[in-house]
Amino acid sequence: MKLAQIITSYLKPNSRQLNIFLAVVVGLMSGLAAVLLKKAVHYTQIFLTSGFQVSEANWEYLLYPMVGLLLTVLYVKYMVKDPISHGISKILYAISKKSSLLHKHNMHTSMVASTLTVGFGGSVGLEAPIVLTGSALGSWLGQRYHLNYKSITLLVGCGATGAIAGIFKAPIAGVLFAMEVLMLDLTMASLVPLMIAAVTATSVAWLLMGDAVLFSYSLKDIFTVVELPAFLILGIFTGVVSIYFSQGLRLIEGKMDTISSVWARWLIGGLILSFLIVLFPPLYGEGYTSLTSLLHGHPGEVLANSWWFSKIQDPWIFLGAILGIILLKVVATGVTMGAGGVGGVFAPSLFLGGMSGFFLARLLNTMGMVNVSETHFTLVGMAGVMSGVMRSPLTAMFLIAEITGGYLLIIPLMLTVAIAYITAHLVEPHSVYTRRLASRGELITHNKDKAALTRMNIRGLIEHDIKDVGPDQTLGELVRVVAESNRNVFPVLDKEGMFLGLIIMERLRPVMFKTEQYQTTLCRDLMYKPEYMVEVSDTVEELAQKIQASGKYILVVLDQGKYVGCVSRARVFSKYRELMKEMSED
């Protein structure tokens, strides 16, 4: 007997037991995917850059990003034949508009494409591709076992949770990511599978990679409460940086989108990225190596392989170079994605936050205004920009806490991420992931009421048991139709089925017993054209608005003027209550 048959025989579809079992499977697979992708990119970068000179610029940086972006564009255009960038937005769109169904190819294509992009120097992150991979695995398993929308959505969240937990060895941050970014409901029925997926993925990553995850750091400096005003400044600063990153990314990607030719976008974006990396090598790839150097007290290594390396002894030139990296990171990320690269903004936001925190700390220390820990500011700055860019303060806070192995920085973390979040929210209400969907009205993961309406389908609500009549039929013939019907509306159609008008009992009742008019009064004399009618192409949200505006209990549904059926207020709200109950059950 196959494994699937054994599972099906013991675990009922959509049951908690099956969801927990599949959460383990999804956690295992997403953890493996995280390890595989990280290893692939790591060894690609080592192979390409291992012989570079530390003290001078390396012109190979002009070639590698161009090659990586070209390979990515060719792979996506001719092999995948489906856009795979903006992985988190794609997941949100699937949850909102496609019943959480993701294409099967998302289980592997984003991993291949992001390896080509980031391994060759694309200035984006691997987290979004891994999250998309894990979520696609969860979606596929849900479809494989014929689960309902709620269970499939939960498995999509388990895949995302496992991906983040496996990458950073941070299970709590993985669970919070699913809650804050994907906006999954916080109920015991959803929380337990998410925690299991996170623990499973973290265990897999730990077994296969040990401590060789992105970065693992033990706090050495002591935090005191008197430093809080400095962290308040850091919160405002990282909030401003996150606004700059989000707005700059939107502007650059928008400019790149105006270039119609995919090859022109590749050439322009690739050339800009290559020159930026020659100027500032930390812009190569994810940038976690530079963050590790800052955390371990070797900031000069950040400018290795560049013209700046010989000038790092001058504190102001060094600060100017760090500021240049901060300002140009958004350009590097934007042109990478605009040129056809595949990756996400998770790593760039952490990189930008770490650089910003270090810059502010070094600036304050150099000016002699106050003595602050550069390591603490680097770590807390990462959380600040992440909170502002992704609108995920809890994920950012606990991610840094788990990376550092404790909660010694929890107070400055709470203050900084809160201030950064508020600062960014004042300018841009949506995160970098949700902005595009919200502008098109396609973001419903943050609105359960709208989610229920979106899952409903006009054609599934149409009632076909309503009898129609012709315009030239007499009142006597109409009375016989009424006698055979249990409805109180009668559409009037021509011979081609085109809708002409509607007869309702309120208009029929005064004449239906006047037998002397049975042969002289026609249906066309009794019908009227309703003010509100529904098209089959309308959304259920538009249907609900028309029902409310009309005040009627039933509306006619047309397809380009041709009668299809009717839809009633009772049918719509019965289905709505059914879906809301399903979505709210623990």
Q: Summarize the confidence of residues 112-130 as an average pLDDT.
A: 91
Same domain as 501, residue 394: no
| Residue in the block written with tokens 């249906």 | 523
pLDDT at 344 over 80: yes
> How far from the centroid of its chain's Cα atoms is residue 17's Cα?
28
Residue 295 token pair? 């955390």
Q: Please give the pLDDT value at position 2.
A: 60
Provide the pLDDT confidence category of residue 1 given band limits of 50, 70 and 90.
very low
In this structure, what are the phi and psi dihedrals at residue 195, rounded to the nearest 5 degrees?
Answer: -65, -40
pLDDT at 442 over 60: no
Which residue would you say has higher pLDDT here, 87 or 237?
A: 237
Percent of the chain with pLDDT over 90: 39
Q: Are 107 and 30 in contact (CB under 8 A)?
A: no
Last residue within a domain, chosen from 185, 209, 233: 209
Q: Are 20 and 196 in contact (CB under 8 A)?
A: yes
Provide the pLDDT confidence category of residue 465 given band limits of 50, 70 and 90.
confident
Q: Which amino acid does the sequence have at 440?
A: R
**Best CA proximity match to 484, nearest among 472, 466, 502:** 466
Per residue in 101-114, pLDDT (tens digit) is 888 888 989 999 99
Grouping H, G, I as helix, E, B as strand and the rest as coil, residue 192 is: helix
Same domain as 438, residue 531: no
**Best CA proximity match to 284, nearest among 56, 111, 66:** 66
Q: Are 502 and 492 in contact (CB under 8 A)?
A: yes
pLDDT at 57 over 70: no
Strand order in the sheet with 562-568: 534-535, 554-559, 562-568
Q: Please give the pLDDT value at position 498.
A: 92
Same domain as 182, residue 105: yes
Q: Summarize the confidence of residues 58-66 as an average pLDDT.
A: 80
Q: How far apart are CA 412 and CA 410, in angstroms?
A: 6
Burial zone of 316 (CB within 10 Å; 0-12 exposed, 13-18 middle, 19+ buried): exposed
pLDDT at 336 over 80: yes
1 within some domain: no
Q: Classify strands 534-535 and 554-559 as parallel, antiparallel or unpaired.
A: parallel
Same domain as 176, residue 301: no
217 within some domain: no
Same domain as 365, residue 509: no
* Residue-number span of the structural domain to which 271 is assigned: 225-446
509 within some domain: yes
Per residue in 400-439, pLDDT (tens digit) is 988 887 788 899 999 999 999 999 999 887 777 776 665 5
126 within some domain: yes
pLDDT at 356 over 50: yes
218 within some domain: no
Report the mean per-residue pLDDT for the chain.
85
59 within some domain: yes
Task: Show the 3-state SS of 282-314.
Answer: HHCCCCHHHHHHHHCCCHHHHHCCCHHHHHCCC
Same domain as 372, residue 313: yes
Q: Please give the pLDDT value at position 573.
A: 80
Q: Please give the pLDDT value at position 293.
A: 87
Q: Which amino acid does the sequence have at 327?
A: L
CATH number at residue 456: 3.10.580.10
2 within some domain: no
pLDDT at 148 over 90: no
Same domain as 487, residue 440: no
493 within some domain: yes
CATH number at residue 135: 1.10.3080.10
Q: Please give the pLDDT value at position 459.
A: 81
pLDDT at 583 over 60: no
Q: What does the buried/exposed string (b/e) look like for 424-457 if buried means 16 or more CB atoms within 10 Å of the residue's CB?
A: bbeebebbbbbbbbbeeebbbbeeeebbbbbbbe
Same domain as 561, residue 502: yes
Domain count, the chain: 3
Same domain as 410, residue 477: no
Same domain as 544, residue 461: yes
Q: By mean pLDDT, which of 88-102, 338-352, 386-400, 550-564 is the weakest?
A: 88-102
Query: What pTM did the predictor assign?
Result: 0.78
Total residues belonging to the chain: 586
Same domain as 484, residue 578: yes
Provide the pLDDT confidence category of residue 443 given band limits of 50, 70 and 90.
low
Q: Please give the pLDDT value at position 435.
A: 67
Same domain as 490, residue 425: no
